[in-house]
Structure 1
Amino acid sequence: MTQPDWWYDDLKQVGLDFADEAQVATYDDRQGATVAEARRLLMRLGVGPSTAMADIGCGTGLLACEAAGMARSVRAIDISPAMLEAARARAGTARNIVFEQAGFLTFAASGDLGLITSQFALHHLPDMWKAVALTRMRDALKPGGRLYIRDVVFNCGPDAIPRTVESWIGHMTRESGYSRAEVATHVREEHSTFAWILARLITDAGFRLISREHDGVYAEFVAEAVA
């Protein structure tokens, strides 16, 4: 479907992580992502042989490929050809996983999914377009289907942003392969939002919040699509 000229282009590359092959190769290590952690999450979310799911912003496919061994079908969705190439290589001969170059505003909302997961991707959209993306994810889920989001989300008020951001930058430069400049670019040029805003966007999009947890500037939300 052709979109109007004011529609947000969610296929544009945002950040080195999406476009640069060298960055893609080290992405999982820098994120601290592991197969064991992915499997624990999928089990916690109740993924089983009857589950049809999508992972939006699938990155190198770590979660999606692990899900392919547990679920009926998996859609691995990302805007980056480099990320999708890495995900395809990881998937090997798995036949119940399909790869789609699309974003939150361009993926096909089929209405038959039981679960959508998205980690560290929604922050690439401004808040208005997060809201649109959330309604599209609701439409992609069957009634009662679940949404899992994990992202950088500021669990503070505006007055606390300076000390919160500086503390996060210190943590990232000590504990990961990210530089101060890279983290500062995230804060300055991408669209991480406040926890209270994201919670409201989720519920206003037609979801019932099941759980909400915060760990520093990271948050995860589990929600259910309202019939």
Structure 2
Amino acid sequence: MQTPPIPNAYDWWYDDARQVGLDFEDEQEVATYDARQGGSAERDRALLSELGLKPHMTMADIGCGTGILAREAARMCRSVVAIDVSAAMLAAAQARAEDLPNLSFQRAGFLSFEAPEQGFDLVTAKNALHHLPDFWKAMALARIYAALKPGGRLYLRDVMFTEAPGELAQAAEGWIVWLSENTGYSRAEGACHIREEYSTFAWAIARMLTDCGFEIVEHVQDGVYASFVAERPG
């Protein structure tokens, strides 16, 4: 496949820093993010081990939030780039970085991050891709593919529906109720996600991944949450 285009080459390129849904520049959103997302250094270390992260490897975490995963990754591998469109999130991530010399930061998104072609062994993206409409999700995945070394892997987790169209309203309502009862997110915030953000279907993500050239290694569906491990063939 061709290398994805440089964003500033086109006047029609999507601004992936635009405000969509919840405002993650808001101090309260940042302060409560870890608790509401269930952030855990222990779980992130386990995940990175399962993904095969090794000391000689390089990786990027796109939509890094407050940086728990990026920090743990930097303790395990050669270098990590933590990427987020929110300056407030990046400030929180930098504050917990513990002066790790192999951890760097970029204020950017899926469509604007800078990376050498075939530069990463692993890219992770948790609960972030839903900020893009589907056309731009595909563009984002193509850019990630180009940034991965042959044999490199992408770990992607997000809200992804599997229901038939006639069942979507019930599924969305059920998720919003679950969210308000089991996390710190309010019903209004869950409704905002469905109304204003761009969660999609697991089958659509699977098709995007394979059309980009990825081989899907694993797909796990847990209610409306799904995770994919996809590999750039070596």
What TM-score, normalized by structure 2, do the two folds share?
0.94
Q: Indicate the residue corresponding to 1:37 in structure 2.
A: 43
Structure 2: how far apart are the matches of 1:150 and 1:105? 18
Residue type of the partner of 1:25? A
Q: Indicate the residue corresponding to 2:73 in structure 1.
A: 67
Where in structure 1 are there 5+ consecutive unaligned residues? none
Q: Indicate the residue corresponding to 1:124 in structure 2.
A: 131
> Is structure 2 residue 231 aligned with structure 1 residue 214?
no
Point out 4+ residue stretches in structure 1 off by more than 2 angstroms. 13-17
Structure 2: how far apart are the matches of 1:140 and 1:168? 34
Q: Indicate the residue corresponding to 1:84 in structure 2.
A: 90
The offset of 1:109, in angstroms, is: 3.3
Structure 1: how far apart are the matches of 2:206 and 2:60? 21
Structure 2: how far apart are the matches of 1:126 and 1:152? 13
For these two proteins, the number of residue pairs brought into alignment is 227
The offset of 1:137, in angstroms, is: 0.1
Could you tell me whether the CA contact under 8 Å between 1:21 and 1:82 is conserved in 2? yes
Structure 2: how far apart are the matches of 1:190 and 1:153? 12
Give deviations 1:174-222, integer Å, cap 9, x for gaps.
1011111111110111100011111101111110000000101000000
The offset of 1:127, in angstroms, is: 0.4
Give deviations 1:60-85, integer Å, cap 9, x for gaps.
00100011100110000000000000
> Is structure 2 residue 144 aligned with structure 1 residue 137?
yes
Match of 2:179 among 172, 187, 192: 172
What TM-score, normalized by structure 1, do the two folds share?
0.97
**Equivalent residues in 2 for 1:93-108, closer than 5 Å:** 93-108=99-114
- Kindly indicate whether structure 1 or structure 2 has the higher relative contact order, using CA contacts under 8 Å at least 6 residues apart: 2
Could you tell me whether the CA contact under 8 Å between 1:11 and 1:102 is conserved in 2? yes
Structure 2: how far apart are the matches of 1:134 and 1:150? 13
Structure 2: how far apart are the matches of 1:115 and 1:90? 22
Match of 1:149 among 132, 153, 156: 156
Match of 2:197 among 157, 179, 190: 190
Residue type of the partner of 1:203? T
